[in-house]
Amino acid sequence: MRAIAAMAFKDLRILFRDRSGFFFTLVWPLLIAIFFGVMFGGNRASEQASAIAIAVVDEDQTEESRDFVAKLEAGPEFEITLTDRDQAFESVKHRRAVAYVILKPGFGEAGRTVFWGEPPQAELGIDPSRGAAAAMVEGILMKYASEMMGDFISDENARRANVRMARETLDEDEGMPPEVRTNLGRLFADLDRYMADEAAYADSSNTTGGGLGGFQPIEVERTDVAIGTSRGPRSAYAITFPQGVIWGIIGAAAGFAVSIVTERTRGTLFRLQTAPISRTYVLGGKALACFISIVAMSVFLYTLAFFVFGLRPVSLPMLGLAIVSSAVAFVGIMMLLAVSGRTEQAVGGVGWAVLIVMSMLGGGMIPLFFMPAWMRTVGNFSPVKWSVLAMEGAVWRQFSFMEMLKPCGILIGVGVICFAIGVRVFDWTTRSE
């Protein structure tokens, strides 16, 4: 028993002496718990933390439309950006906003004609990869439109004025059949008398009420955002395969980072230095192998998607550019991870921790609209976000070459910088402690 206790005590001492092992055994789980707690509402005192980012366009520019926008801004559900139609479209397409809402011309006038005519019209543009948010956004719009209709109907003077406007409009409509005009005229007259009696009853009984209801507060036309088309991705695989490819890339980067440490601790890299090749070539060979494996894996998965699942990328050259750029980025990240610890266990822990956080912040695991605003901002520093965006741009977002330059340029820049730092600080010694 003493021998077993001594062995256990020895292993515990090794664990606590290994800073990386200690960190990922005790500290890392605590950080993950705090991370998800903040993300999913650990601090509900500020509802703005979970607000959905949307772009709002007021094409009506009436008092009613401005009041509706003010209601959206005052509520906790949305993070509003006022802009024009083109910028709203670009915001959704480039994932700066989950959706856009356009209040169409006539929105205010339709809100004043509760008892006849069309309801207020709005256009909802949604990123198809965030389809779960569409019903949520539409429901919130309906809520605030219903509140505005309720405010209007609860105002006795406004209701009766609305009925009088309806009667005047009826008298001016020369194309209406006489029998229809007569029947509607009686209806509006009776409705006016009903409202007067209802108001008198409410005053006498000190109650509020009204039997008016069933009117549509707002009509929302939903549009999937994809440049040049309203169809969005042709299938769910256009959304899921870029995500799957990213996870394959992450796995390759983590695996090669650990393999470099393994060869260093076992003396393989030390023995390679006796060969007539420079250290730069040795590390370059590892980087090339990682690059080839990432590209081959990506091509295989997209080929499988093409023949088996019917995925048809909008542009194969653009998809190739996205794959190569992502490979460059994660080869550089792989080299930087390889110098993050002295043992395979340490590098494996650090590598997967960093890559999983990148994936979470970049939208690879959790939809960005669930995240607090500050976390979505931090997500801009995640290469996963730019890899997903570049691949989606080639698969279904129909990015132009100029639009592809930003995500691909960021990825290549990340790869070059990380690789240069990794090579610079790489330790060729075989010490593992």
38 domain-assigned: no
The pair of structure tokens assigned to 193 is 């008398």
Are 191 and 66 found together in one domain?
yes
Q: What is the pTM of this model?
A: 0.61
The pair of structure tokens assigned to 129 is 């990869």
The pLDDT score that the predictor gives to residue 346 is: 82
Q: How far is CA 123 from the centre of its chain?
A: 20
For 10-36, the pLDDT digits (tens) are 455 655 665 655 565 556 555 655 555
The pLDDT score that the predictor gives to residue 122 is: 92
* Cα–Cα distance measured from residue 258 to residue 351, given in angstroms and rounded to the nearest whole number: 8
Are 173 and 78 found together in one domain?
yes
The pLDDT score that the predictor gives to residue 127 is: 73
pLDDT at 211 over 50: no
40 domain-assigned: no
The DSSP string of 125-171 is EE-GGGTHHHHHHHHHHHHHHHHHHHHHHH-HHHHHHHHHHHHHHHH
Are 177 and 274 found together in one domain?
no
Last-in-domain residue among 179, 196, 224? 224
| Total number of domains in the chain | 2
The pLDDT score that the predictor gives to residue 374 is: 73
Sheet strands (E) in 3-98: 52-58, 78-82
Are 125 and 199 found together in one domain?
yes
Are 54 and 202 found together in one domain?
yes
Are 203 and 280 found together in one domain?
no
The pair of structure tokens assigned to 236 is 């769910």
Are 217 and 191 found together in one domain?
yes
DSSP state of 178: H
* CATH for 149: 3.40.1710.10
The pLDDT score that the predictor gives to residue 229 is: 44
Last-in-domain residue among 224, 255, 289? 224
Last-in-domain residue among 162, 195, 224? 224
230 domain-assigned: no
Are 198 and 285 found together in one domain?
no
For 60-113, the pLDDT digits (tens) are 999 889 989 998 998 888 889 999 999 998 888 777 888 899 999 988 888 766
Q: Could you tell me the residue range of the domain that residue 210 belongs to?
A: 47-224
pLDDT band at 37 (very low <50, low <70, confident <90, very high): low
Are 295 and 197 found together in one domain?
no
Query: What residues contact 218, with CB distance under 8 A and at least 6 apart?
Result: 119, 120, 121, 122, 141, 142, 145
The pLDDT score that the predictor gives to residue 213 is: 40
